[in-house]
Amino acid sequence: MDLAAQLIVSGLLAGAPYALAAWGMAVALATGTLNLTLGLFFTLGAYSALEATARGLPASYAAPAAALAAFVLGLGIERVFVRPLRGWPLATAVVLLGVALAGEYAVGLLWGTADRSVPLKLEVLQIEHVVVAGLELFVAAGAALAFFAVIASARRTRAGLAVRAAAENPEIASCAGLDVERLRVWAFAAGCAAAAAAGAFVAPITPLSPAMGRGALIFSLAAVAAGGPGLPGLLAASLTLGVITQAPANYVAPQWAVVVPAAVLAGAAAWRRTPLWRRAEA
């Protein structure tokens, strides 16, 4: 019973930052782009936390800076690689995958291919029989704060409402006077920023490597496939995935953190009836 409680708490704490990355995937996907550079932005966010601590700054400072830089870089990638391919989702996905792999190579050149870690020591808390590392709590709290800021902006601001309208029905949104093209650009860049922030939050609790974003990419896709594009479903899927991933990853082998989301992605893609994912019945 204690072990189950421990696993659930650890899983929820670990799943929180990935929920932010999953939102980044969902918002780009809702506006018609399968953003496969998301893993790269996650990696860049993590390495920005490494750079921040190397300069004597707290790792938490890296998240907003990384998000801002990722937003600007996302705008550039959208302009060069996504906009010319609008309407060809396969070509967009493949080109973005190529960009992500080139980015991985660049990260390897800049920071080396060996694993790195972000030093951040916090106290360990014990609540009844459940042990919570202060680090995990810090990471989850930061990610939760960012996630709820995203929810608030999506639900309470005019910009968020416009993006949701454009995602729901681009034609009607366009008729209502919204600049759907611009909203797509902003949604793509916002997704990149969310992924970078998630990477910066996760950096203190995971080894850093140029290919670390692949796991985050698969996790995000699995969360979107299983939970759907809506925020409650996405949050529930991300946290559940965090729980069911953490148990084997902590107690059997860390590699399960990739295998479990990939299995969930494949299963959800096969059995969930999401129209966006289905082959056109031409």
Partner 1 sequence: MSTAAVSRPVTAYPAGRPPSLWWAAAGWVAVPFVAAALGHDRFASTTLAAAAVQGLFAVSWVLLAVSGQPSLGHALPYGAGAYAAAFVARRAGLHAGDLGGLMPVVLTVAAAIAGGCFGALQGRLTRRLAPAFLAVVTLAMVEAGRTLATMWMAPVLRGGADADASIPIVPFPSDDRAAAWITAAAFGAGVLLVTALVRSRTGVALRAAAGGERAAEALGFDAPRLRLFAFVAAGTIAGTAGALAAQLSGHVSPLMLSWQTSLFAPAAALIGGAATVAGPAAAGYAGAAVAQFLDVPSPLQLLVLAAVLVAAGLRDPQHLFGPAFSWNPRPRNGP
Distance CA 156, CA 173 (A): 18
Cβ–Cβ < 8 Å for 15, 239: yes
Q: Which range in 15-23, 97-105, 137-145, 167-175 contacts partner 1 by CB under 8 A?
A: 97-105
Interface residue with partner 1 among 58, 134, 232, 267 (CB under 8 A) is 267
Interface residue with partner 1 among 8, 75, 85, 120 (CB under 8 A) is 85
Q: How far is the CB of 214 from partner 1 (least distance, A)?
A: 6
Written as one letter, the residue type at 63 is A
Axis crossing angle, helix 180-202 with helix 38-54, rounded to the nearest 10: 50
Q: How far is the CB of 224 from partner 1 (least distance, A)?
A: 11
Residue 5 interacts with partner 1 (CB under 8 A): yes or no: no
Cβ–Cβ < 8 Å for 97, 36: yes
**Residue matched to tokens 């694993």:** 115
Residue 251 interacts with partner 1 (CB under 8 A): yes or no: no
Q: Which range in 71-79, 145-153, 206-214, 239-247 contacts partner 1 by CB under 8 A?
A: 206-214
Distance CA 55, CA 33 (A): 36
Distance CA 189, CA 67 (A): 10
Distance CA 227, CA 235 (A): 8
Q: How far is the CB of 121 from partner 1 (least distance, A)?
A: 20
Residue 127 interacts with partner 1 (CB under 8 A): yes or no: no
By CB under 8 A, what part of segment 132-191 binds partner 1?
none
Residue 123 interacts with partner 1 (CB under 8 A): yes or no: no
Distance CA 200, CA 41 (A): 10
Interface residue with partner 1 among 102, 124, 149, 175 (CB under 8 A) is 102
Residue 239 interacts with partner 1 (CB under 8 A): yes or no: no
Q: Which range in 70-78, 100-108, 165-173, 226-234 contacts partner 1 by CB under 8 A?
A: 100-108
Interface residue with partner 1 among 75, 99, 151, 236 (CB under 8 A) is 99
Residue 95 interacts with partner 1 (CB under 8 A): yes or no: yes
Residue 86, C-beta contacts closer than 8 angstroms, at least 6 positions apart: 32, 92, 184
Q: How far is the CB of 151 from partner 1 (least distance, A)?
A: 26
Interface residue with partner 1 among 8, 141, 159, 263 (CB under 8 A) is 263
Provide DSSP, 35-100.
-TTHHHHHHHHHHHHHHHHHTT--GGGHHHHHHHHHHHHHHHHIIIIIGGGTT-HHHHHHHHHHHH
66: which 2 tokens?
A: 């990384």
Q: Which residues bind partner 1 (CB under 8 A)?
A: 34, 36, 81, 84-95, 97-99, 101-102, 104-105, 108, 113, 115, 207, 209, 214, 218, 221-222, 252-255, 258-259, 261-263, 265-267, 269-270, 276-282
